[in-house]
Each structure stands twice: as structure tokens, then as C-alpha cells.
Structure 1
Amino acid sequence: MDIAKFIGQLQNCSKKEFKTILKGFDIKLSDKELDGVHPLLQEISLSWLVLGVPVSIQQKLIQLLGEQRATALYKEIIEKAPSSFR
């Protein structure tokens, strides 16, 4: 799957579909974390691959998850993402 198509899938997926996608990458979020993170998916952009995740999104994640959990989740996503996504 190409990156643009994957981003489109994330932007339009239900919470259940998002949970399945996360499971495929062996990334675990609690139901409470999932409820907070899922709405942010609509803000994902291809530009993040070049420019990085915007500070405003980072701040929202820290607010939702706490700084330690948000940092750990970011590292986990980077580690488990296919090389074509890095």
C-alpha cells in the first residue's frame, strides 16, 4: 500500500478499524487512549513525512496521554513503521 493511500485509510477509519490497524503494527492503546487519539487522525498529512508532526498535534497527544506515554508511543511507532514510512 502506498503512503498516500494509507494516510487516507487512517483519516477515514472507524475506531474499530483503527484498533485493527494498530494491532497489525503490534501497537497497543487503551480504549481511553484510542478515544482521544482517533479524532486526531483526520489531521494527518503527507507533509508530516517531510516536516515532522506539527507541534500542535504533539501538544494534543501529550495532553491526552501524558508526556512519558506520548514519547514512548512515538518511539514505538517509529520503530515498528515500515521503512518506506520513515
Structure 2
Amino acid sequence: MNFTKLDYCQYLLSSQINYTITNLAEDLENISHDKINYYLRNEKLTPSLLWDNVKDLIVVDEDAYIIFDDTVVDKIFQSQYK
């Protein structure tokens, strides 16, 4: 089974909390984390690709905002081994 742009876009659209490759791989049978990682490293996926897939789903309202945030917060990691 191959992993495609459609698979990835559908995952981004349907996931409400966790957007990690690990989470995606856990939800898909026959697709490993490594296969998804390889795909994403080698495929050009642009924001416009995702927008093209969702723009018809957006309900326009003059009092509404769409906010995109790609912030990555560092995890606080303290080794139990010193």
C-alpha cells in the first residue's frame, strides 16, 4: 500500500489534536512511521495544496478569523540518568 498526498491531506483535515507522524502511523494499517517520514522528506507539499482541499469547506463570516500557527514548542526533558 502506498502513502499519498490525499492520505496526508485527509489526516491533517481530520486530526483535531495530534498531527504527528507517529500518531498517523498508529491509525494506518500497513503504513509505517518510516514510510510516512520518507514520503514527507521527498514530496513537495505546499500550503496551497492543503488550502485547495479545504477552501470550499470554509464558511465566510466577517466576524471570524482563520489562524495558522506552526509553532513548535520544545519539550522539557530531564533525564532520569545523570
Q: Given the two structures, how large is their TM-score scaled by the length of structure 1? A: 0.28
Structure whose CA Rg is larger:
2
Question: Bigger relative contact order, structure 1 or 2, given CA contacts below 8 A and separation 6+?
Answer: 1
Q: Given the two structures, how large is their TM-score scaled by the length of structure 2? A: 0.29
